[in-house]
Amino acid sequence: MPLMAVSSPPFSFPSTPSCTRHLRRATIAAAASSASDGFDYPLADPSVRWPRLRFPHLPAPRFPAADSAPPPAPARPSREREPADAEDAPAPSASASAAVAVEPLDARAHRGRVKKLSKLALRRARDWRERVSELADRLLALPPGAPVAEVLDEAWVSPDELAYVVRAVGAASWRRALDAFEWPVASGAAGPGPRVVAVVLGVLGRARQDELAEEVFLRFSGEGATVQVFNAMMGVYARSGRFDDVRQLLDAMRGQGIEPDLVSFNTLINARAKSGSLAPGAAFDLLLEVRQAGLRPDVITYNTLISACSQGSILDDAVAVFEEMIGSDCRPDLWTYNAMVSVHGRCGAAQEAERVFVELLEKGFKPDAVTYNSLLHAFAKEGDVDAVERVCEELLKAGFKKDGITYNTMIHMYGKMCRLDLALALYDEMRAIGCTPDAVTYTVLIDSLGKVDRISDAGKVLEEMADAGLKPTLVTFSALICAYAKGGRRDEAERTFDRMVASGVKPDRLAYLVMLDIIARSGETKKLMALYRTMMKDGYRPDDTLYQVMLSALAKGNEYEEIEGVMQDMEVVCQMNLQLVYSTLIKAECISQGATLLKKACLQGYEPDSKSLLSILDAYETMGKHEEGLSLLQCIREHVPSSHNLISECSIMLLCKNQKAVAAIQEYSSMQTLKRGSSGRDYNLYEYLISCLEEAELFSEASQVFSDMQFVGIEPSHKIYESMISTYCKLGFPETAHHLMDEAVESGIWINTLSSRVTIIEAYGKTRLWQHAENFVKGLKQESGVDRRIWNALIHAYAESGLYEHARAVFDVMIKKGPLPTVDSVNGMMRALIIDGRLDELYVVVQELQDMGFKISKSTVILMLEAFAKAGDVFEVMKIYNGMKEAGYLPNMHMYRSMISLLCRNKRFRDVELMIEEMGGAGFKPDLAIFNTLLLMYTGNGNFDKTVELYHSILEAGLEPDEDTYNTLIVMYSRDMRPEEGFTLLNEMGKRGLTPRLESYKSLLVASGKAKLWEQGEQLFEEIRSKGYRLNRSLCHTMMKMYRDSCSHSKAEQLLAAMKEDGIEPTIATMHILMTSYGTAGHPDEAEKVLDSLKSSSLEVGTLPYSTLFDAYLKNGEYNLGITKLMEMKTDGVKPDHQVWTCFIRAASLCERTDDAILLLNSLQDCGFDLPIRLLTERSSSVLTEADNFLEEIEALEDSAALNFVNALEDLLWAFERRSTASYIFQLAVNRSIYHHNVFRVIEKDWGADLRKLSAGAALTALTLWLDHMQDASLQGSPESPKSIVLVTGEGEYNMVSLRKTIRAYLLEMGSPFLPCRTRSGRFVAKSYSLKMWLKDSPFCMDLELKDAQALPKMNSIKLTEGYFMRAGLVSTFKDIHAQLGEVWPKKFSRLALLSEESRAEVIKADIQGRKEKLEKMKKQGLVMSRKYKKGTQRAKFVREQSTQAILK
């Protein structure tokens, strides 16, 4: 950042030593009045001598953001100041001025020396100076408002004396000087002469009173005006950089017949230099203008031009002007060489600057402080600390001291290098030696502190600057504003800007740009536009980058009118072409306005660039404005010739930009032809398309596009070469990739050769072409040697084939000949062993490497750990893991992920939990991959509560669930019989664009069937088919079962037909499901047709379809037909088995009359299976032994054969009151593990029971036995009971019978304290105390022993009603109570059920009456609050609408 990048305006030398006193007095007064003083050349005050010193009166320089702080170009004092600075002599004439203008510097120096005067002349001069000084002091001592006539009237001041008095007074107060100037007119004397006018114009110019100066000039620029007056006014304009005004004044001078002198042109050059950076070539234009005026440029002219070139860092022009100066026989002086050193330093040519310095010495010039400081800056800009210190030493040896400029340059260098400690040390040193920091010093410190984000300290430095009595300059304020902007401290930046304006410092273009950028990014559009209008009013113009930021802020604030106004400024005021305007609008996301201007540009004949058009089309597609996009394309087609290619290419590039590779390649295929060399668009098109296809892994398509590109003759770019080398390697064609790389190198196209070679070698390895990789490396070895990465790639190529010995040979070569192996080399060898399956040798190689001095890295250990983890060796993995921690290798996230995955696969639950805790202690948080692994483990184990808890943890951690998360949760909810939550998760996946797995669909489909969500299940199946999943037989069977359960046999037929169309051949199981569907729907004749078709097919018909047909007839009550079909099966040669026995036993258990049940059992006896009828009618121990033997036989059959048989037998025995026998059969089933051993767990101090998978009869048997066990434990006091006792029934059904409802009915009848669980369905909970009291006092629990009835009852003791069993005699009573009272407590229900019908009716009536009276009483007391019932949503809608979070609470 050029903190000191400003040059002093041209100053003139004082004519006599006497002016020094006035100059120094003016310097002191400048701190208060901002008035300028003259330039003093002597080295006694080098800080004034240095051109970069910042004076309040100087015009502010530009303040770029990222340049260094070059010294300004030393400027030769201009003649513009001579009229105002002359003291000892009268105003020179034009001819005299011209004569002096060509004087060499040494002559002027001699002329400026004190001449020997006579004693009389000395006394007169001394008296004259004392008189002028006395008059000036008296005028300054006047109180404010006092007239100057009090002093001047009595002094009889001559016009020449008045000029010197005005100048002396003006050094301290321009107002009082103006009063003195106007005194002659006010006193009635003649008007002031031209000399006095020139002097007062110089005073007003230094005080920045341009308007007053213009008024004075206009008053006295008529007749009698001289060239000095015009030069003085030009100097006023030049001081402010108003080049155009200086030019107009020069023309006006000529219009009045006054011929400009060399001072006039020097002033013009100075104004051009101060108006901004000089354009290349402008220096020669100005020089030519001087020559065309018939004047000979002098050393000041050349020095001013070189200084201007230095300020603009135009090295070539500066060197050319210098050579022109030499060729014109104008001798360079020290100032010239200082300017040349400065310009070389500014342009980063420190060595050339030092060469000029040496040339300066050779010419006999003695360097001054400016010379050394300029050379110092040249090296400081390049950060050459050693050279800077060397120049400092030379400066001190030459007798100079380090001044403020020296310190400023070095402080800025260290600040730029972010070595703030050294910068602050220099600052302290500067103050310690008595060198007072100036404005530049503080500015440099503020800038340096801002660059290292010490913004608060930068603000404190500004306060220190103000406390030191220094007025911050524009550069100072700008540095602090930039620091605040960089740190994002908008409020402080705005306060600093306001403070700058309030202090009278006028912002420059950069200050406006920075503040506009800050405010634009804050979104305060009103403040933004106010500052923007102020900037435009001051004549500054934003660039297209700032316009983009502004327009973006206005677009976000929907300030459309302001956007239109800014567009108008860009077109009219800033004269930007339409292409730049609409491209800026598009970049600022003002799409509508940009598109409008683009259309306007097309109408005017401009051809739109593909980038802007692509941005507009992309935005329209994002916003869904397809019609606007089509309208724009149509406009381009109509008004832009040959627009077809442009539109097609933009469409393809747009699709590539949106990562729509498939659509892009389709659009590309539909293009007719591509014209070669069409403004380079084809090149960009292929680059876009090939890169997109490579990223989308459409390698074959990328290869085809590359072939097309070669066919049309377009040369590939380096990016295309690299993409295609990678593509062919991934396609498994490393030879082709090798050829492409050689072609690119031969064509001179730069690509990353080393990276491409490594990719090719790795591809050879992956394709098991290790011989090619080996030959490739040998060729490289012959050419230029082999890089380490090449060797490592070869080792990995051997590793892919498991060639450890080859990899080890390369490793040994690297050790012997270099380059030395790295961790990647070691890992390649270890990988070779791992791929070869030689895991037992890993430790041997590790020991060898350690003996060779290699330290085993963490990545190598992780590689070994992952190898053993993949092999499932938990012991070795834990050993390596513990060894890593002992060696100080802290586990990383990848290692934790591998460890947890291994432990989860091996169901090491406790170890997994410990590993998670260890992760937290190490500062790691589980990521989504770890959570998904845990979800899978707990779901597989059936710990669904823990799974839901983990899902909550995922959401609390702020992680976004992915496909694995949702799929696992859907499976979990399906297994937990909560399909509604599963459907909600499925909808959530659709909203997020995630794809469910087929397994998830299947699990949810099964759960929907079990939960009787027929409609949702059918919709789910259609969704599976519509999404293109390939149906399998298992999925179709699941859906047919759902149709069977929902009695939709017609849909089952349609599905069977669809299976055949999809090529899925039906099996026996398929036909069984279809027959079951017909049977459930009450159409056994249709089921028989299916059986007949099976018989006629080539499939082997077993007992399963016959059993299905028997079940259909028997459920329909057609017992005789069922028996007939049984006999037909025997006739068909199919021997009955356990499936037939189970079917008939189950049907017998459902018969209302005992005779029908015996009829069915006798038919089994006729077929040779008499066990069921004997168990029902006999009481011998032999039949029980036979039952045990039969269970042993069928236990070895399919998994559910014994379970189904026992469940059917238990239902039969319970229904016809053979309950002791049922108890014995139940114990046999438990002993043989047909039923699980923990059906009830009173002995385990749990007292819970789990009746799932039991039929109704088996469950009632188990319930009675469980109550008996709990009664004994309660009476004995051992084992102790828990606080709550849980009875688990589940929500499932066995043969269309709900176990939960059946148990619920019997618990109601007994008046038990068991109540449904509020948090989990399919569970009943009772308090331990209440249960014990009930077991002790209830009449139902007096005798819980299961006994056989003395004789078979004539009717079935249980009745199937509404999908569950209930005691037959209780059905009417149950319905009566529920119809009148609704749900009642079990104890109350039991008491009501025991009453006679008349008594029960009276009690119910009294209960209802009592309720009404109680309600009326509460209403009178105001204790009843009205309830607002809200109709609940239907279940299907609930499934679709509820949120995931609501489900999981």
- Look at residues 113, 189, 118 and name the one whose alpha carbon lies nearest to residue 156: 189
Return d(Cα 1447, Cα 1444) in angstroms, integer. 5
pTM of the model: 0.44
- The residues that bridge with 1358 in the sheet, in sequence order, are 1367
Q: What is the mean pLDDT of residues 98-103?
A: 33
The type of residue at 1099 is: L
Q: Where are the beta strands (DSSP E) in 1014-1120?
A: none
Q: Name the least confident of 147-161, 628-642, 764-778, 1238-1252.
A: 628-642
Return d(Cα 148, Cα 1047) in angstroms, integer. 120
Q: What is the pLDDT of residue 994?
A: 87
Q: Residue 1382 — very low, low, confident or very high, per pLDDT cuts 50/70/90?
A: confident
Q: What is the mean pLDDT of residues 968-976?
A: 88
Q: What is the pLDDT of residue 1224?
A: 92
Q: Which contacts (CB < 8 Å, 24+ apart) does range 934-937 have?
A: 934/900, 934/904, 935/965, 935/968, 935/969, 935/972, 936/904, 936/964, 936/968, 937/904, 937/907, 937/909, 937/912
Q: What is the pLDDT of residue 1172?
A: 92
Q: What is the mean pLDDT of residues 9-13?
A: 30
Q: What is the pLDDT of residue 1209?
A: 93
pLDDT tens-digit map of 114-128: 444 454 555 555 667
Share of the chain above pLDDT 90, in %: 4
Q: What is the mean pLDDT of residues 1290-1316?
A: 84
Q: What is the mean pLDDT of residues 556-571?
A: 72
Q: Where are the beta strands (DSSP E) in 1274-1386?
A: 1284-1288, 1293-1294, 1297-1298, 1315-1316, 1323-1327, 1358-1361, 1364-1367
Q: What is the pLDDT of residue 615?
A: 67
> Within 13 Å of residue 664, how many CA atoms lie on the same side as its CB?
28
Highest mean pLDDT of the ranges 589-598, 648-657, 880-889, 1164-1173? 1164-1173
Return d(Cα 721, Cα 723) in angstroms, integer. 5
| Token digits of residue 636 | 């381009």
Residue 164 pLDDT more than 90? Answer: no
Between these two residues, 8 and 859, which has the higher pLDDT value? 859
Residue 1344 pLDDT more than 60? Answer: yes
Between these two residues, 1101 and 221, which has the higher pLDDT value? 1101
Residue 576 pLDDT more than 60? Answer: yes
Residue 395 pLDDT more than 60? Answer: yes
| Token digits of residue 173 | 């107060």
pLDDT tens-digit map of 1205-1244: 999 999 999 999 999 999 999 999 999 888 888 888 777 6
> Which positions ≥6 away from 191 have C-beta within 8 Å?
184, 185, 220
Between these two residues, 1032 and 547, which has the higher pLDDT value? 1032
Residue 71 pLDDT more than 60? Answer: no
> Which positions ≥6 away from 875 have C-beta within 8 Å?
none
Going from the C-alpha of 536 to that of each of 508, 582, 923, the distances in angstroms are 11, 21, 55
Between these two residues, 1198 and 809, which has the higher pLDDT value? 809
pLDDT tens-digit map of 220-266: 766 667 888 888 888 888 888 888 888 888 888 887 778 888 888 88
Q: Which contacts (CB < 8 Å, 24+ apart) does range 1183-1189 have?
A: 1184/1221, 1184/1224, 1184/1225, 1184/1228, 1187/1225, 1187/1228, 1188/1228
Share of the chain above pLDDT 70, in %: 82
DSSP string, 522-590: HT-HHHHHHHHHHHHHTT----HHHHHHHHHHHHHTT-HHHHHHHHHIIIIIS---HHHHHHHHHHTT-
| Token digits of residue 559 | 């300030």
- The residues that bridge with 1348 in the sheet, in sequence order, are 1218
Q: Which residues of 426-441 are buried (b: 16+ CB within 10 A; e: fewer)?
A: bbeebeeeebebbbbb
> At 1250, which helix (H) or strand (E)?
strand 1249-1250
Are 798 and 809 within 8 A, CB to CB? no
Q: What is the pLDDT of residue 38?
A: 32
Q: What is the mean pLDDT of residues 1105-1126?
A: 86
Q: What is the mean pLDDT of residues 639-656?
A: 69
DSSP string, 367-409: P-HHHHHHHHHHHHHTT-HHHHHHHHHHHHHTT----HHHHHH
Q: Which residues of 1002-1016 are buried (b: 16+ CB within 10 A; e: fewer)?
A: bbbbbbbbbbebbeb
Backbone phi and psi for residue 920, each to the nearest 5 degrees, phi listed first: -60, -40
pLDDT tens-digit map of 1160-1194: 999 998 888 999 999 988 888 888 888 888 888 88
Q: Which residues of 708-724 are buried (b: 16+ CB within 10 A; e: fewer)?
A: ebeeeebebbeebbbbb
Highest mean pLDDT of the ranges 22-26, 905-909, 1380-1384? 905-909
Q: Quick one: how many helices (H) and strands (E) in the chain?
A: 77, 8
SS3 content of the chain, % helix, strand, coil (to 5): 70, 0, 30
Q: What is the pLDDT of residue 726?
A: 87
pLDDT tens-digit map of 1141-1152: 999 999 999 898
Token pair 């006896």 in the structure block, residue: 1165
| Token digits of residue 879 | 């050993």
Q: CA-based Rg of the chain, rounded to a whole angstrom?
A: 51
- The residues that bridge with 1366 in the sheet, in sequence order, are 1359
Going from the C-alpha of 1199 to that of each of 162, 433, 774, 1235, the distances in angstroms are 128, 101, 58, 12
Q: What is the mean pLDDT of residues 682-695?
A: 79
Spacing of C-alpha 1007 from chain mean position: 39
Return d(Cα 220, Cα 197) in angstroms, integer. 7
Q: Is 1209 exposed, middle or buried (0-12, 13-18, 19+ CB in 10 A)?
A: buried
Across the chain, what does the average pLDDT equal?
Answer: 76
Between these two residues, 66 and 1101, which has the higher pLDDT value? 1101
Residue 1423 pLDDT more than 90? Answer: no
Return d(Cα 486, Cα 66) in angstroms, integer. 12
Q: What is the pLDDT of residue 1226?
A: 92
Residue 992 pLDDT more than 50? Answer: yes
Q: What is the mean pLDDT of residues 355-379?
A: 84
In the three-class reduction of DSSP (H, G, I as helix; E, B as strand; rest coil), residue 961 is classed as coil
Return d(Cα 855, Cα 849) in angstroms, integer. 8
Residue 503 pLDDT more than 80? Answer: no
Are 265 and 289 within 8 A, CB to CB? yes
In the three-class reduction of DSSP (H, G, I as helix; E, B as strand; rest coil), residue 295 is classed as coil
pLDDT tens-digit map of 1045-1077: 777 777 877 888 888 777 787 777 777 777 777
Residue 551 pLDDT more than 90? Answer: no
Q: Name the least confident of 600-609, 795-804, 850-859, 1429-1438.
A: 1429-1438
Return d(Cα 74, Cα 51) in angstroms, integer. 6
Q: Residue 1043 — very low, low, confident or very high, per pLDDT cuts 50/70/90?
A: confident
Q: Is 208 exposed, middle or buried (0-12, 13-18, 19+ CB in 10 A)?
A: buried
Q: Residue 1034 — very low, low, confident or very high, per pLDDT cuts 50/70/90?
A: confident
DSSP state of 1240: B
